[in-house]
Amino acid sequence: MFLGDRGRVEIKNISPADIQIDASGTAFYSCLKSATITTSDSTAEIQFTVPSTVTYQDLYTIHWNGSGVLQHLYGPSGLDILQLQKQPVWDAFSWGFVYMSFKPLELAQQYSFNAQGLWRIQMKIFDSNTPSLYVPDGFRVSIHREEYISQQMSLAVGQNVSVDLPSRSGWHNGQIYYFELNGNSSQADVNGALLEYSYHFADTSTGNVYDYSYWLPYNQTVTVTNIGTQPFPLQLWSGADVFTIIDHETDAQGLEFNLDSAALDSNDYYSYTSLDIASTIPLNSSVLLIPNGTRVEDMHRNIVTSTNDAYYTLQPTYSLYKVSLSPYYAYTVLENAVYGTWRLKLELEVTVIHDVAIISVEPYRKCVNQNCSTRINVTVANLGDVIETFNVSLFANSSLVGIQTLTLDNGKCTNLTFTWNTTGVQAPFWPCNCSIQAEASPVSNETNPENNIGTCCVKISIKGDIDGNGKVNIIDISKAATAFAAKPGDKNWNADADINEDQKISIVDISMIAKEFGKTA
């Protein structure tokens, strides 16, 4: 597996024979969002707005200085998720004491409210000296390890027990990887945590019954309560990330840091998960050197035993703003030679990247009517190093819909809305598919013109046909009725039923469909 630089990698065959390869990749884009932060004594509240264009892929991450515990999580409905009946949130939430990540749309739908609008996070800071893992300027070097606890006890009905999550003296608390119980959510509740998921399984072939639940703590101490109808022998397991910041010195060519036994304990080096060097400047062609001056990717060790023949490297990962390696494999390969001064050398020549991109093209409705107006949302990003001014053009079957000019800071993204009138679209038959294409004009010295184009497809049919089969029948009315009173973000929301595009399904939409009942394209 390889992590490429700036979205492009070069694959070279270094074997003596021809080879056939299959390659795939996934790209993640990030944008800084504005938020309001208020503090009072040891409490803090963060407010930010989730737009109507939020998708299931959108992951919001909030960083802060100081280690904190979550007290309230208010959605746009004003409800505190922490006080609601617990629902399985799966991977929609994560608390790391110095940061929080969550997927607004997925989390809101689990609790049946609209994700769009103002969110409020209230927390209590219990250690103001804990540094943030976010790097606002320069570099940050950190080393991470996993701490683990396992406990067993018997809980009577209604009995509870307090559990301190894994930690390490002198280190900072990071993400809780997991908190697992041998009882499902109808047998045990965990105060100070959201439910990740729970399951009950009866194996008919053996007669064994398996009950487990997984939880996402947001407090350093949680309380486990037996809410079942009979006592049960409780078992719990938890693993957590703890980290420490490594001092470093920088110069024009990079940075240096010292790795000693206080940061990497040779007695339990197998507990360490990563050493990360994060930066706010692109680490183009950076090279990480071990204390003897050798590049980390040139180091390896072959350990042969009577039962095993293993080949180890330091597993370095070079990405655009971070360089990482495995301390476990570093000690396995280098042993005591791991201690000393490490150096990250940067490319001396500064390369300025100019790269504007179309991230997505999303129609408000995927099935629209003939002779009507509809909205097309285009997400645009500046992935380069400098501010850029450029045009974004939208086409429908090669016909120009409109042009918008914008100026966008580097590292930022924005949403543009185009209005497209389907009048005049020609087709040999109806319904028909119409290709929608957004184009960002190349800026001077454009680095990656391939990402300047984004496309989607919209079906055009007669008025009232919301499923695109060319007929207005009871199925269309039924689908609109199912979405009645829904708004964007609701579970039963169906944008294709919003004929007048007022962001709600009302009697007006249903009447417009019913008026066309029985018509065919």
Interatomic CA distance for residues 342 and 275, integer angstroms: 12
Question: Of the residues 134, 156, 188, which one is the last residue of a structural domain?
Answer: 134
Helices (H), 193-240: none
Nearest to 249 by CA among 228, 277, 227: 277
Residue 218 near residue 192, CB atoms below 8 Å: yes
User: Can you spell out the DSSP letters for 450-503?
Assistant: GGGEEEEEEEEE-TT-SSSSSB-SHHHHHHHHHTTT--TTSTT--GGG-TT-SS
Residue 3 pLDDT: 44
Give residue 80's region: left, alpha or beta (phi > 0; psi -120 to 50).
beta
Range of the domain at 186: 139-244
Same structural domain, 376 and 417: yes
Total domains in the fold of the chain? 4
Task: Give a three-class secondary structure readout of 349-412.
Answer: CCCCCECEEEEEEEECCCEEECCCEEEEEEEEEECCCCCEEEEEEEEECCEEEEEEEEEECCCC
In the predicted structure, residue 110 carries a pLDDT above the cut 90:
yes
- 174 inside domain: yes
18 lies in some domain: no
Q: Which two tokens stand for residue 495?
A: 């944008």
Helix/strand/coil for 48: strand
On whether both 113 and 166 belong to a single domain, the answer is no
Whether residue 171 is found in the same domain as residue 94: no
Nearest one of 360, 361, 374 to 496, comparing CA atoms? 374
At 320 the pLDDT is 81
Report the pLDDT value the prediction gives residue 272, as an integer from 0 to 100. 95
pLDDT at 1: 40
pTM above 0.75, yes or no: no
Whether residues 124 and 196 fall in one domain: no
Tell me: do 230 and 178 sit in the same domain: yes
Write the burial class of residue 95 (CB in 10 Å: 0-12 exposed, 13-18 middle, 19+ buried): buried
Half-sphere exposure of 496 (CA within 13 A, CB side): 22
CA-nearest of 375, 369, 374, 364 to 461 is 369
Instruction: Identify which has the larger pLDDT, 507 or 137.
Output: 507
105 lies in the same domain as 188:
no
* 157 pLDDT higher than 60: yes
Alpha-carbon span 434 to 14, nearest angstrom = 45
Helix axes 474-482, 507-515, angle to 10 degrees: 180
Q: pLDDT tens across 133-144, in order?
A: 888 788 999 999
User: Would residue 306 count as lying in a domain?
Assistant: no
3-state secondary structure of 270: helix
What is the band of 2 on the pLDDT scale with cuts at 50, 70, 90?
very low
Report phi then psi at 269, rounded to 5. -60, -20
Closest CA to 495 of 480, 507, 513: 480
| 8 bridge partner residues | 5
**Candidate from 307-311, 392-396, 443-447 with smallest mean pLDDT:** 307-311
**Whether residue 203 is found in the same domain as residue 239:** yes
